[in-house]
């Protein structure tokens, strides 16, 4: 299994760092795996055991442990189980960091005995070390359990859905001085991707104080906090009077910003309307109506580029990634990266190699999603 390979490579790397000489050779076939021992299930039926554990059954394979529990069939590599021991000698509970050297784990390790006590499995390893695993912990940390788990629950919306929801804004003083105000803001932001704070004094200092209440402020080529207007003081369309279509910001960063805070300090004349779109809602529409296009947008990396030569500002930044970024284990969308202004050309040879995999209607849906995405559920305040 992959855990064996990872541990093997880590062990070899450790030997290299120590200056050892390694002789690479083809792995000899494991005849025990070619002719495995008979495998039988262990079922729990005793009435004295809690009801949760009564639904537990397991069987030992040559290289992994199979568990049936909580309506889920899970498979755990023995190396992974030994490496994730949470005993005092293997794990520092104060720092939440591993003490055990993964490279020291025998790649062919198997437990000598396994027993269940209430809702805890006890593994005794060949050296006598005992590891305990809570059944719910195994479900939570299993690959099969992760596939069923949503990292961040969301409410997807369009204009009609959001207006009907009547999501309340938060008063600045309540937001700044009370945990309840902060909690209300964070709930709105995490569920809808946008949240509003009212009655903020129109100064950069108060905007900064608000932002620091949420999280640390990230340093960028523009600074931590910056003021902009249509004076073309920076080489970006945002500093002009031209209209900006729907887009996500900082696509040219290797890690685009997760939260953005906007505060209109002064407005004179006409125009300057704010357009907010839930890109996650648009992406869900693509997934339902054209799953092939969704897969394409989540797998093909695009290059976004920012080139600036204005005054004393000289910057050239490139960020690469797909339009839709998803977790590979559960296909959950967590980030949208699109800005047609910043998107670089697609290499002709590269695009030609993908041509056989692109349905005819892909370009239509590419335009649809790119025109309706929002920055990592960005917060516009």
Q: Residue 319: which H helix or E strand, with range?
A: strand 313-321
- List, in order, residues 6 or more apart from 186 with CB less than 8 Å away: 195, 214
The burial of 342, by beta-carbon neighbours within 10 Å (0-12 exposed, 13-18 middle, 19 or more buried), is given as buried
- List, in order, residues 6 or more apart from 238 with CB less than 8 Å away: 228, 244
How far is 336 from 374, CA to CA, in rounded Å? Answer: 7
**Chain centre to alpha carbon of residue 57:** 32
Phi, psi at 295, each rounded to 5°: -65, -40
Structure letter (DSSP) for residue 89: T
Structure letter (DSSP) for residue 193: S
Q: Residue 73 in 3-state DSSP? A: strand
| Closest C-alpha among 345, 257, 332, 351 to residue 304 | 345
CB-CB contact of 57 with 46 (8 Å)? no
pLDDT tens, per residue, the chain with 381 residues = 545 554 554 454 345 444 443 333 334 444 344 334 445 566 654 444 555 556 789 999 999 999 999 888 999 999 999 999 999 999 999 999 999 999 999 999 999 999 998 899 999 999 999 999 999 999 999 988 877 777 888 999 999 999 999 999 999 999 999 999 999 999 999 999 999 999 999 998 999 999 999 999 988 888 887 766 666 666 666 667 766 778 888 888 888 988 889 888 887 777 777 888 999 999 999 999 999 999 999 999 998 888 888 888 888 988 899 999 999 888 899 999 988 765 555 554 455 445 544 444 333 333 333 333 333 333 333
- Give every strand in the sheet of 64-69, ordered side by side: 42-43, 57-60, 64-69, 72-77
Q: Residue 34 in 3-state DSSP? A: helix
Of the CA atoms within 13 Å of residue 353, those in its CB half-sphere come to 5
Structure letter (DSSP) for residue 157: -
Strands (E) in 105-236, as ranges, are 113-117, 120-124, 130-134, 170-171, 197-198
Query: Model-level pTM?
Result: 0.66
Alpha-helical regions (H) of 69-134: 78-83
Of the CA atoms within 13 Å of residue 311, those in its CB half-sphere come to 8
Provide the total of helices (H) and of strands (E) in the chain, helices listed first. 14, 15
**Chain centre to alpha carbon of residue 12:** 30
């Amino acid at each position: 299994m992959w855990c064996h390979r990872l541990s093997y490579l880590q062990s070899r790397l450790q030997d290299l760092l120590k200056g050892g000489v390694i002789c690479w050779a083809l792995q000899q076939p494991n005849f025990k795996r070619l002719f495995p021992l008979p495998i039988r299930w262990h079922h729990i039926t005793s009435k004295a055991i809690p009801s949760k554990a009564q639904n537990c059954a397991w069987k030992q394979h040559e290289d992994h442990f199979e568990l049936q529990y909580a309506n889920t069939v899970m498979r755990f590599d023995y190396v992974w189980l030994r490496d994730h021991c949470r005993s005092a000698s293997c794990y520092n509970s104060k720092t939440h960091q591993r003490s055990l050297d993964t490279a020291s784990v025998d790649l062919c390790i198997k437990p000598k005995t396994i027993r269940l006590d209430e809702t805890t499995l006890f593994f005794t390893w060949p050296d006598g070390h005992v590891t305990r695993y809570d059944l719910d912990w195994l479900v939570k940390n299993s690959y099969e359990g992760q596939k069923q788990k949503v990292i961040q629950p969301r409410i997807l919306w369009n204009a009609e859905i959001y207006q009907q929801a009547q999501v309340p804004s938060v008063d600045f003083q309540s937001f700044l001085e009370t945990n309840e105000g902060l909690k209300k803001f964070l709930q709105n932001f995490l569920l809808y991707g946008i949240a509003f704070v009212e009655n903020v004094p129109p100064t950069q200092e108060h905007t900064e104080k608000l932002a620091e209440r949420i999280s640390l402020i990230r340093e960028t080529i523009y600074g931590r906090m910056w003021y902009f207007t249509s004076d073309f003081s920076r080489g970006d369309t945002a500093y002009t009077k031209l209209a900006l279509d729907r887009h996500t910001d900082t696509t040219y960063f290797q890690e685009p910003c997760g939260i953005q805070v906007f505060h209109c300090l002064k407005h004179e004349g006409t125009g300057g309307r704010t357009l907010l779109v839930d890109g996650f809602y648009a992406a869900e529409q693509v997934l339902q109506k054209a799953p092939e296009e969704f897969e394409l947008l989540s797998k093909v990396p695009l290059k976004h580029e920012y080139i600036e030569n204005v005054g004393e500002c000289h910057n050239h930044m490139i960020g690469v990634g797909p339009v839709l970024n998803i977790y590979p284990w559960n296909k959950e969308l967590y980030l949208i990266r699109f800005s047609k202004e910043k998107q670089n050309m697609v290499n002709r040879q590269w695009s030609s190699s993908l041509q056989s995999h692109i349905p005819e209607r892909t370009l239509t849906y590419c335009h649809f999603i790119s025109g309706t995405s929002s920055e990592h559920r960005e917060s516009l305040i």
